[in-house]
Structure 1
Amino acid sequence: MNGHAEIAMPKPAVKTQQGWSELWKKEDYWAIWMGLGVVLGALLFFYAGSSIKPIAVAPPTWVDFSAVTKHFAAKWTWYVGLYLLFTTLFTISSAIMGFKVREFIVGFTLLFLVSTVILVAGSWKTAIDLNLEPPLLALLLGMIISNVFKLPKWLDTTFRTEFYVKTGIVLLGATLPFTLIIQAGPVAFLQATIVSVSTFLAIFFAATRLFGLDKRFGATLAAGGSICGVSACIALGGAVKAKKEHVSISISMVVIWAIVMIFFLPIVAKAMGMPAGIAGAWIGTSEFADAAGFAAAAAIGDEAAIRSFTLMKVVGRDIWIGLWSFIMAVIACVVWERGSAADRGERVNAMEIWWRFPKFVFGFFIASLLITFVALQFTPQEFNKVLNPEVIGPIKTLRTWTFVFTFLSIGFTTRFRELTAFGWKPLAAFTLGVAVNVPLGYILSVLIFGHYWAQI
């Protein structure tokens, strides 16, 4: 989810294979390499008798601001080291993917400095009591700045929402035991299947039957509302050969409703007294983008909400990107084009699922497996006293930084004037999907599968 900063021209479904170059030219793979690199680095330091904890710095909880000044006086060299680490990793990967190095370094320096301020503000005891988590503060500040001031367009090179959130999700895998994924995975996939199919059909038929929109446009809108926001819009838009402006409008719908849900879902969940695990599952079922969903889950203020959200959204819904892209590519070629694709010698094959599948999900699973394997070597007491503070804790801190980068990027690229530059029909179709998605997510997360999510 990133406003209009990373909208790509859709590619024909039959020409999506990239070959080995994907390994160094795609965000998904770079998120894997960097995320797993951090996890492996943390483990290597740990087995060498050390820890990455010093460089995984973050402001402490404070009441008196003097505590903050003392903290930075003692730790400023580690903040410089952390800045250099993040800048090196993200700059090298962005340069290889074709982004301008000078623009990225300047923009990322600004992003890191503002993120530091956000983390300080989010560590204030009053902000914590008000559930103003750093990701939420980052989103609000970013939106205020981007809608009051006109930011230079070249800064969009740095505001790489999808890249940051994918890297953060790989790191998140290191904090989720694989046994938990196996336990909740089937439930998450079943729930995601029900929601994905129901919401997709609701938006598609509303768009095409009620409002007379183009079928390719309707399918792209439906993907954004039922699977994984921006990534799904781009992937499925390419699979069905949707127009670029239709992909852009679909992304705008995702941005509008995802931001609404960041505030709506946590408020309602808390007002209803939902356990954190159930609230996270409802958010994972009802939100429209990974980044926005994480912000909403973080606002619950309990790690259980983040775990259940991740299982529901990443394990359950995100894998539908490849499946829906394949299904709709077949329908577009065989039904909508009425044989014209065959006349041109084009065909859709099963590898479309692989080409469209969100690869960063593999990084999430591998990170979880690595930490789970290491954790099996320790007793529960040793885990809490040694592995958790020396390995998992620092990874969580680095994960928090990547998510703050994510939400600042969302805020900086969300310009309300641009989001209103479309007709009412796409908004109406998407809103009908929301009317299906949110209540259905509640029924599944609370009433049907609530006993599973409450135990997360």
Structure 2
Amino acid sequence: MIHSDTNASVAGKVPMLKNEDWWAVWLGLFIFVLGLGPIFGVDLLGWVVKSATWTDISKAIAPISKGYQGMSGFTSLFLTYLFLLLITTIGARVMGANAKRFAVGFSIIFAITYLCVVLGDNAYIAATPDKQANLGIVWSLGLGEMGFILAMIVGLVIGNFMPGVAKYLEEAAKPEWFIKTGIVILGAAVGIKTLGAMGLATTVIIRGLCAVVEAYLIYWPVVYFISRKYFKFTPEWAAPLASGISICGVSAAIATGGAIRSRPIVPVILSAVIIVFVAVEMLILPWFAQTFLYQEPMVAGAWMGLAVKSDGGAVASGAITDSMIRAKALKEAGIQYEEGWMLMAATTTKVFIDVFIGVWAFILAILWSMFNLNQKGGGGSSTKGEVSAREIWDRFPKFVIGFAFTFLLLLLWGIADPEIIKGAKVGTDEANGLRTILFALCFFSIGLITNVRKLWNAGMGRIVAVYTVCLFAFIIWVGLFISWLFYHGIMPPIVGG
């Protein structure tokens, strides 16, 4: 059975200290504040563990900061576990959980989840094509976030075949709390990305922003309409699906699901499908770009940013495309483009797409709060005009405010004082390491509390169908057209030119 207090646990209807939404904000802001340390010359989160793509498992984990190189990977992992155990146990206890049972359950969940993350980072599973040579391998599946999926699968196995174990761990399986805390942290990372984009070539930035806005105004409503009209999804499913396909895959689906208060299973199932499709796109699109777009290199780069639905996948596709097109242009036309400009177009486009996550989540949170669209398959529109400002505030997901706060604070601070950007990037990267682990804990927790027999009935088959139809029927091609519209005729500098 799927357990969720998404609709019942509405901020304002329970005391703040008992509310999961508010605890997500507080924990996310606490980690965010620690991440500001490098701005002031203090590295407070450098010990956080980071899992790297590996061929030798003894080198799979290490502290995220070079300043902690003397620390072993195991020590870093243990400190990360203790830190998360402490802050989550405090929050759980205040919210009314059994502290001892939560701590034991969290410890088991953390151990299993992080093992899945490490296994998912095996080079033959996770390495993108542009990284294979450095790792000494000749092939890989290119599934960079497969650790999340492994965590969900293990959770499903335990939840469905070991009910006694699942029941014991359920106290610590808090998927919404983990997701929302992670998204508050994510706001800071998006703010830093935006600051970095401001230093790129002005033409690329302006055109990238225009391309994203125009693409998104087409993508989102069309996917939402198709999902509702032809595949009969409820708004609870259609909105995260439209965001996942239209904006930025996993992060967008999760942020939208939280903003509209969907059941936590919704964005996680969507994320599993998105990750597989990203791998397919990475195999196909750079080759297509090299074959047909080598005379329009910036169009090709922007296309990767608009079409590939994950940060890692889009940037990796941009790097692959950059390398492949430069090689073909040199061979076919004797032109040697400067390295990195196609990757810049892809990255810049993706940055603006990421920024749009917070904007769109905020808009959707207001609309879903006003019209209660998750009720009765979308029949909540009858409540129009009957919802008070207080009710909207009660229903409004507070983590969205946390996301906006961390994003805007770093963005405005960095604009006012550019000297903080370098330190802020270091700190947000470290905080983002904790965000990644929280997302992974969410995936395991979803698996643990989900009845797999209901999974297909929940819409897995139709999700694959609508994703396939929307992605290959129009999103890829609309993205190509918009990239052409804004980047046609813009060329990278030529080496020696």
TM over 0.5: yes
Where does residue 288 of structure 1 map in the other structure? none
- 1:105 deviates by 1.5
State yes or no: 1:113 paired with 2:120.
Answer: no
Name the % identity.
Answer: 23
Q: 1:207 to 1:261 in 2, by over 3 A?
A: closer
**3-state SS of 2:183 partner:** helix
Where does residue 439 of structure 2 map in the other structure? 403
**3-state SS of 1:198 partner:** helix
Structure 2: distance between partners of 1:301 and 1:414 = 36
- 1:173 deviates by 2.2
Where does residue 88 of structure 1 map in the other structure? 86
One of 174, 177, 187 as aligned partner of 2:188:
174
**Contact kept? 1:266, 1:297, Cα under 8 Å:** no
Q: 1:192 to 1:60 in 2, by over 3 A?
A: closer
Q: Which has the higher contact order (CA 8 A, sep 6+)?
A: 1
Structure 2: distance between partners of 1:44 and 1:413 = 37
State yes or no: 1:157 paired with 2:210.
Answer: no
Where does residue 311 of structure 1 map in the other structure? 355
Where does residue 338 of structure 2 map in the other structure? none
- 1:283 deviates by 5.3
- 1:33 deviates by 1.8
Where does residue 418 of structure 1 map in the other structure? 454
State yes or no: 1:28 paired with 2:62.
Answer: no
- 1:262 deviates by 1.9
- 1:109 deviates by 0.7
**Contact kept? 1:62, 1:124, Cα under 8 Å:** yes
- 1:20 deviates by 8.0
Q: 1:86 to 1:6 in 2, by over 3 A?
A: same
**3-state SS of 2:49 partner:** coil
Could you tell me which runs of 5 or more consecutive residues in structure 1 were left unpaired when the two chains were aligned.
209-216, 238-246, 285-292
1:351-430 aligned at under 5 Å gives the runs 353-373=392-412, 375-376=414-415, 388-389=425-426, 391-413=427-449, 415-421=451-457
Structure 1: distance between partners of 2:436 and 2:375 = 41
> Counterpart of 1:79 in structure 2: which amino acid?
L
One of 472, 476, 489 as aligned partner of 1:442:
476
State yes or no: 1:55 paired with 2:68.
Answer: no
Structure 1: distance between partners of 2:189 and 2:487 = 17
- Normalised TM-score (structure 2): 0.63
**Contact kept? 2:89, 2:99, Cα under 8 Å:** yes
Where does residue 370 of structure 2 map in the other structure? 326
Q: Deviation string for 1:106-133 (max 9, x for gaps)?
A: 2211222234434443555444343656
Where does residue 273 of structure 2 map in the other structure? 260
Structure 1: distance between partners of 2:102 and 2:141 = 32
Q: 1:365 to 1:186 in 2, by over 3 A?
A: farther
1:336-355 aligned at under 5 Å gives the runs 347-349=386-388, 353-355=392-394
Where does residue 152 of structure 2 map in the other structure? 142
Where does residue 214 of structure 1 map in the other structure? none
**Contact kept? 2:118, 2:147, Cα under 8 Å:** no
Structure 2: distance between partners of 1:124 and 1:196 = 34
- Normalised TM-score (structure 1): 0.68
> Counterpart of 2:111 in structure 1: which amino acid?
L
**Contact kept? 1:103, 1:157, Cα under 8 Å:** yes
Where does residue 337 of structure 2 map in the other structure? none
- 1:92 deviates by 2.1
Q: 1:268 to 1:56 in 2, by over 3 A?
A: same
- Alignment RMSD: 4.8
**Contact kept? 1:161, 1:406, Cα under 8 Å:** yes
> Counterpart of 2:170 in structure 1: which amino acid?
D
> Counterpart of 2:443 in structure 1: which amino acid?
F
Structure 2: distance between partners of 1:329 and 1:159 = 27
1:159-308 aligned at under 5 Å gives the runs 159-176=173-190, 177=192, 178-179=194-195, 191-206=215-230, 218-226=234-242, 256-273=269-286, 278-279=303-304, 281-282=306-307, 304=347, 307=351
Where does residue 211 of structure 1 map in the other structure? none
Structure 2: distance between partners of 1:30 and 1:262 = 29
Q: Deviation string for 1:223-264 (max 9, x for gaps)?
A: 454457688679869xxxxxxxxx87xx76765554223202
Structure 1: distance between partners of 2:486 and 2:184 = 24
- 1:377 deviates by 7.2
> Counterpart of 1:93 in structure 2: which amino acid?
G
- 1:272 deviates by 0.9
**Contact kept? 1:253, 1:430, Cα under 8 Å:** no
Structure 2: distance between partners of 1:36 and 1:138 = 24
Structure 2: distance between partners of 1:253 and 1:316 = 18
Q: Deviation string for 1:120-148 (max 9, x for gaps)?
A: 43555444343656631231243156337
Where does residue 242 of structure 1 map in the other structure? none
Q: Deviation string for 1:275-328 (max 9, x for gaps)?
A: 6765454455xxxxxxxx678779869894974553344433563243145246
- 1:437 deviates by 4.1
Where does residue 4 of structure 2 map in the other structure? 7
Structure 1: distance between partners of 2:317 and 2:450 = 24
Q: Deviation string for 1:413-444 (max 9, x for gaps)?
A: 4553231357xxx6787677546643443344
> Counterpart of 1:367 in structure 2: which amino acid?
T
**Contact kept? 1:253, 1:427, Cα under 8 Å:** no
Q: Count how many residue pairs are aligned between Structure 1 and Structure 2.
A: 408
**3-state SS of 1:58 partner:** strand
Where does residue 287 of structure 1 map in the other structure? none
